[in-house]
Each structure stands twice: as structure tokens, then as C-alpha cells.
Structure 1
């Protein structure tokens, strides 16, 4: 009798011990020590993140000459936070920022945004002044942006001399990458832009790379695959939503861009120059002057671009050119 009792007590003690150890192990996943370790450090100078961490915060960089190496660490917005990584000059000069080896996922707006954060109605009529106050020479290298609620990577207006390279942008609700008005001299090279712009497979599908009134850019060596509307679209926004007072009339056209040696796979359209030239924009509330009496059509400028050496596989329409003086050469 005593022996049976001892056996039962030992079994109970063993079960309790295993259960306690399990609780301890689970608690360890969310321990204060680990939570503290996965908090972002001050973001200036040379910054290195812990590769095993999942950071549930926005990375905000506002200081020039900053280099961040994520070392493969993850920033996860959990479909609750708006932006993953933001380079924000806050209306002051900012330059020479490098961000590499980051995985950015599930942010409700953009995985990465480069911006001056100057409201449209606060932009100067002096374009050089706007360029002076906007980030320049920003490098994004070997980043992976997935599951963005709007645009995956957003180069905001007046961003210049910045580069996205050796990266993956996929599964964005809208365009994978957006070059906003008045941006110029940027490079999109050696990236994979995949399965963006489906908008839940409803209306309004978008392209992998949108070039909106952005000029003198290099788009080279990328793979565009299975994006909603197509690969690369160049156009001049007509000043949408003009009656809200928040629209900007574009002064720069999508001219003098080079699109070469890219691969397009399973796209409705590979490359479309002046993609809105013949589109009915009567519902866009445009601020530009229409080119027809009905007010449906607007001049959509994408001229003097070079399109060369691109490859197409399973693309319904390789390219469409509704611009002027574009040079199309060497395509399969």
C-alpha cells in the first residue's frame, strides 16, 4: 500500500515537473529579457540588429550617414502598424543612409518608405528647394518586403540618387514599387518584383513598378513576375483628387528613363509607356487640363525613354508605347 502511494506521488511529481518546465519554456519565448533584446536600438551611425529577432516596431531613420544591417532580422507589422522602415528627412536635408539584409512583412501601408514628409500644400514653388529638403543617396540592398497593405516600397516625391538592389518585393496589395512625382536619378536594379497589385483580385489591378512623373531613372536586371496589371508602367498622374486640395499638379514627366535587360514572366503587359494616355479618367477628379471636350482624356507624358534588351516569357503584350520619341530595341 505504501509502495503504491509512493509510486503515485512520484508520477504526480514527474508530471508537475514536466508541466512546470513546459510553462517555463513557453514563458521564455516572451520573457522580459528577450523582449528587451528585440527592441530597436538608436538608429544613427552604424547599427546592427540581432538576426534571430522579430521586431514589432517601425524603424524610423531621421539622421544622415546612418547604416543599418538587419542581419536577416524581421520587422513584422502584424497587419496593424502602417510602415516598417521609414527614412524621413522631416523637411530637412538628409543623405547617405544604407539599409541592408532586412525582412519586412505585413505592414498596412508600405514596408519601406523614403520621404520628406512635406505636405503637398507646403511644397515650395522652387523645385531645387524641395530637392534640398528631401532624402537623397539612400541605398536599400538585399531587403525582402512582403504583404504590404498598399505599396511595397515607396520612393516619395523629390527623392533622388537612391537605389533598390538585390531585393524581393512581393504580395503587395497595390504596386510593388512606386516612384512618386518629381523623383529622379534613382536605380531599381537586380530585384525580384513578384505577385503585386492584385487588390484582392478585384478591379483596379496595379503594376509591379509604377513610374509616376519620375525621370532619369535606371531600371535594369530585374525580374517582374505575375503582377496584377503588368510589369513597368510609366505615366504622368493627372492631378487626381484635385477637389480635395491635397493634389499636386505634376510639372515633371516620366521621361529619359532607361529600362533594360529585365525579365518579364506571366504579365498581362510587360512595359507600358504613357499607360494612361487613352484611358478614361473622368472619375479621377483630375486637376490637369483635359485634351478633349468631354473631359475624359488627358495628356500622359512618357517620352524619350530607352527600352532595350528585355526578355519576355508568357507575356500577353510585351510592350505598349503611347509616348513620343521612345527608343525600343533588342527584345525577344
Structure 2
């Protein structure tokens, strides 16, 4: 018996409601495992009475729409024998083969394979094929390690024993494509001195600082690289009481002179003239384009709890790509999940991200990410913030904008409590309205371009640093210097966003889409507005123009607001 379920794919935007398709048939027939670690999914699919091929999509772990969907292909290869008598006309090919790399097979090891057929003319509708959920990817072979005897080094695939043990040390991966199954263990950093060369993270990469200091090499002959944690799998862990929860910060070390301490190559930006003559990490690697292969990519974090972390529960490192964070609880930290500059194509799926002091998910100069089916609630300032840091605190320029991100199918509710007044001109404007006096703890559900018009004076007051500044060019307005933010072509789709005390969504950059969201479920105090569109800063700065081309469609607006349910400010106007 086939069930008909609407598939979701990372790169696919669903065009409408999911209607069951009973005219698509097919089956997953065979799952083969090659000696090189690759896995091949083979089968057939077609639409009854139609010669044109259908698409085939795969999810792992859970059926669509909850499972993680990564792979899609067209069923137009030579059909396996069982297809010939079912597809019409039978002379056409309707077979498919999907190849999973060794890394992909490990990422979803031990999980069920669910498979769907989808017609090219309407990718919002699909049918679950025969044998969907019947095949399982092979499990990882782990070495069992006793928690009491373990030194915290992940140098092979490790499963901790016994279940739910306690560990009081930092965990370090010393190579790529390694797996750690904590088996319920708690990794606790209470009163634990940070390892040399680390940032005080609970789980990170092995640091080469000690190796550098033992070496007789100095100066330009001296360069030692931290371990590459690409392809790491971390699951069933609880991490608490560290500076960071998970952070695969990878650095290059050098010893300036004999007898001196090794230091990391600094982060310098060629766009920042004050550092133009200094050699940084980009230079020593041979150029900024080398940063993506240098940084940890393809990391999987599954069923992990990060709590009581001073900075970020999970910090996706700069230039990190294709991280998957799913089925985890990121609760009670400074920031929940931070997607650092130049990172891209990461997926944050089916997590609880709650009660973090500042932001639930920070998307800082990070692009093409998917934030899907998460519960994001009770965070102090903002549920999801999309912005390009202006390069403060060291002047590291962000080259990438916070563009082309998708927020889909999330519940984003109840943000409020952090001190964010005066951070930007728009925030100051909203809080100065007469209606805002009724808001005790301002918070925002989703804020696109959340640093539009960021105030240098506010930064200096907030940090106590009078020389903070930014590497971006600022605009002088009055006695302050304000900075432009960039976050466009983002899509907020099919979310439930409510009970965020100031506004459910604020949009301060162009070309963003807000479609088919439900803002009407609120039971708490009325927000100032459901959606705010516009930027006071961009209206006041003569060289800029008001925010435009923000597309709204099919949204269910809040039942009660203190002001307009959709509030246009800063000279912005609705699209005709």
C-alpha cells in the first residue's frame, strides 16, 4: 500500500498545497553498497499514461515533509524489468539511480530511506513509492570507549560507554570524516581550563599550537595547521558550561622567534586598508579562495543538546559549508546557532532553539541556508536575525551578504527581553512610538537586515570600547556614524510567527518575499505590528533610497496589533 505525502527538497520551493497524487507509481527496488563506500539507490517511477519522465526525490530518517531531503533525479534511465508492465507507453525508459557518496551514506547511517515520485509540471505534489521506508543505510562501525578512560581525542569512530556518563574535559577531533556517538553522555566544562590553542569550546578540532611550540622552526618556515574536522558526525551528546558548545575553529600557527610563544595567523581583510601590509590567514593559505577547502564542511550534528553556553551553542565556522543540524535542543545559551561569515548552504532542521539570551539563529554574512521546521521561541532579542556584520571588533570585512536564505515551516514565537533599544535608527523609531510604551520586553521574530543603520555610538556604549568602529564605510548622520546592512532575496514561507512582542517580522532590505505565513495564533500581548517594512536610516541618508520590492502574499495577519498589521516606514510603500 502506498501513502501519498508531499515531498520537500532543500532547493525546491513548494508552489502550493500538497494534493495526493494517485497517478504516479514506482518502487525503490535495490540498494547497493560499493567497495569505495558509495551507495546506489535503484528503482523506477512513472506517471500512468504519460511518456514524460517524473522526478524522484529521497528523504532520510523520517518521511517527508519531516525528513532531510538532499537528492533528486529524473526517472529516465533504462527501466528495471518490473517497470515495463506498469508504465505506459512501455517503450519509454522510467528507471532511476541515485548515487550517495561515502560521506552522504555515513551522514545518514542507520536511517530509513523514503522515496517519492513528482511530476515536472507540479513539484508541489508527490507520491510515496513502493518500498519507501523499507531500506536502511548501513550503520557506522564504532569502537566502544569507556568514558572514565577516554582522553577526549576523537581519532576514530567512537561510541562512549556506558550510556549517559559524565565527562569533564574538552573533546577534540584530530582528522576528517570521524564520528562521535556520545550515547547520551554529558560533556561538562564547569571550572575547566581551556585547552591550549582552543576557544574554550566543548567539542572542537585538535589544535597545532603545542606542536608549533615544540618545533625548532621559526618565522616564515613555521606554519602548523589545526586538524580539519570536515565530514564530522556528532550525535547523542549533551554539552554544557563552555564558552562555545560546538565550534570547529581551524587556525594556522607560527612561531615568530626562537623561544617565543606560537601565535595564530590573524584574520585580515584586503578591503581594510589599515591591515593591508599585514600577513593574515588568507595570505598564508595562498588566497581567500582557499578558505572554503580549509574550513570544516559537511559536518552533521544530530540529537545534541547544548545548554549553559556563554557564547553560541553551535557555531558554524567561517567559510563552513553544508552543515546539517537536526533534531537538537539549543536552549539557554548566549546565542543559539551562529552561522558565521562567508558560510553557506547549511541546513538547520527540526530543532528546538529556545530561551537563548540574545538571538536564536544568527545568520551573519551567510547565504543560501535553509532554516526549516524548527521551534524558535523565547529568545531574548530576535528569533532569526539576517545581517552582514559591518566588520567591527578587529575589522574583518564580510564579503558575502546574508542573501538567498529560506525560512520555511518554522514556529517562531515569544521573543523579547534583551536590551536592543537604540541599536539602529529603525529600532529607536519603533520604540519611540506612543504605542510602544505598552511593550515591556521588545523582541522580534525575524529581522531581515537587522543591522541596517547600526549606530557606532550604540556599539561603543554597549561594549565600553570607544574605538570599536567597522571596516565598512559608514555614513555620518548628526554626531553618529551609521552602517548599511545587506540581506536580500530571502524567503519567509509557510511559518507560524506570533507573540513576538515588538514585531513578528521586520524587513530592512530590498527584494525579500514573505508568503503564506500565519501571524494570527498569538495569545499574548498585541505586538506593535505583524510586519514592518522599511528603514529610517535609508530614508535619512541621501545616497540611499527607501527599502523596496518586498513581496507579501497569502499571509494571515495578526488579529490584534497596537498599530497597523503591516506597517510601512522610512518611505517604503506596498508593491502595486
TM range, smaller chain: 0.7 to 0.9
Aligned residue-pair number: 285
Q: Distance in 2 between matches of 1:179 and 1:162?
A: 10
TM-score of the superposed pair, with normalisation by structure 1:
0.80
1:53 aligned residue (157, 161, 165): 165
The match for 1:116 is 250
Cα shift at 1:91:
5.5
Instruction: Between 74-83 and 248-257, report the one with greater CA deviation.
Output: 74-83
The match for 1:83 is 201
Counterpart mapping for 1:210-221 below 5 A: 210-221=362-373
Does the 8 Å CA contact 1:151/1:175 hold for their aligned counterparts?
A: yes
- SS of match in other structure, 2:172: strand
Does the 8 Å CA contact 1:115/1:159 hold for their aligned counterparts?
A: no
The match for 2:234 is 99
The match for 2:350 is 190
Q: Distance in 1 between matches of 2:386 and 2:205?
A: 25
Cα shift at 1:150:
1.5
The match for 2:447 is 272
The match for 1:3 is none
2:410 aligned residue (262, 269, 272): 262
Q: Which has more helix, going by share of residues?
A: 1
Cα shift at 1:103:
0.6
Q: Distance in 2 between matches of 1:155 and 1:274?
A: 20
The match for 2:391 is 239
Does the 8 Å CA contact 1:253/1:302 hold for their aligned counterparts?
A: yes
Gaps of 5+ in 1: 1-34, 198-205
The match for 2:337 is 177
Cα shift at 1:278:
3.0
Gaps of 5+ in 2: 1-145, 194-199, 208-224, 253-265, 269-279, 416-442, 461-467, 519-576
Relative contact order higher in (CA < 8 Å, ≥ 6 apart): 1
The match for 2:543 is none
The match for 1:43 is 154
Name segments (4+ residues, structure 1) moved above 3 Å: 87-94, 292-295
Cα shift at 1:39:
2.5
The match for 2:327 is 166
The match for 1:322 is 508
Residue 225 to residue 171, structure 1, CA distance change in 2 (3 Å): same
2:486 aligned residue (293, 297, 301): 301
The match for 1:224 is 376
The match for 2:275 is none
Q: Distance in 1 between matches of 2:395 and 2:235?
A: 33
Cα shift at 1:293:
4.6
Does the 8 Å CA contact 1:99/1:140 hold for their aligned counterparts?
A: yes
Q: Distance in 1 between matches of 2:153 and 2:355?
A: 34
The match for 1:17 is none
Cα shift at 1:190:
0.7
Residue 132 to residue 37, structure 1, CA distance change in 2 (3 Å): same
Cα shift at 1:314:
1.7
Structure 2 residue 475 is matched with structure 1 residue 291: yes
Report the aligned-residue RMSD.
Answer: 2.1
Cα shift at 1:88:
5.6
The match for 2:76 is none
Q: Distance in 1 between matches of 2:324 and 2:251?
A: 19
Q: Distance in 2 between matches of 1:257 and 1:68?
A: 29
Does the 8 Å CA contact 2:153/2:173 hold for their aligned counterparts?
A: no
Cα shift at 1:296:
2.1
Q: Distance in 1 between matches of 2:315 and 2:507?
A: 25
Residue 321 to residue 79, structure 1, CA distance change in 2 (3 Å): farther
- SS of match in other structure, 1:234: strand
Q: Distance in 1 between matches of 2:205 and 2:303?
A: 17
The match for 2:464 is none
Instruction: Between 129-138 and 310-319, report the one with greater CA deviation.
Output: 310-319
- SS of match in other structure, 1:304: coil
Cα shift at 1:152:
1.3
Residue 42 to residue 237, structure 1, CA distance change in 2 (3 Å): closer
Q: Distance in 2 between matches of 1:252 and 1:37?
A: 44
Residue 247 to residue 167, structure 1, CA distance change in 2 (3 Å): same
Counterpart mapping for 1:8-87 below 5 A: 37-40=148-151, 42-50=153-161, 51-81=163-193, 82-87=200-205
- SS of match in other structure, 2:154: coil
Does the 8 Å CA contact 2:160/2:182 hold for their aligned counterparts?
A: yes
Cα shift at 1:323:
1.1
Cα shift at 1:302:
0.6
- SS of match in other structure, 1:49: strand
Cα shift at 1:292:
3.4
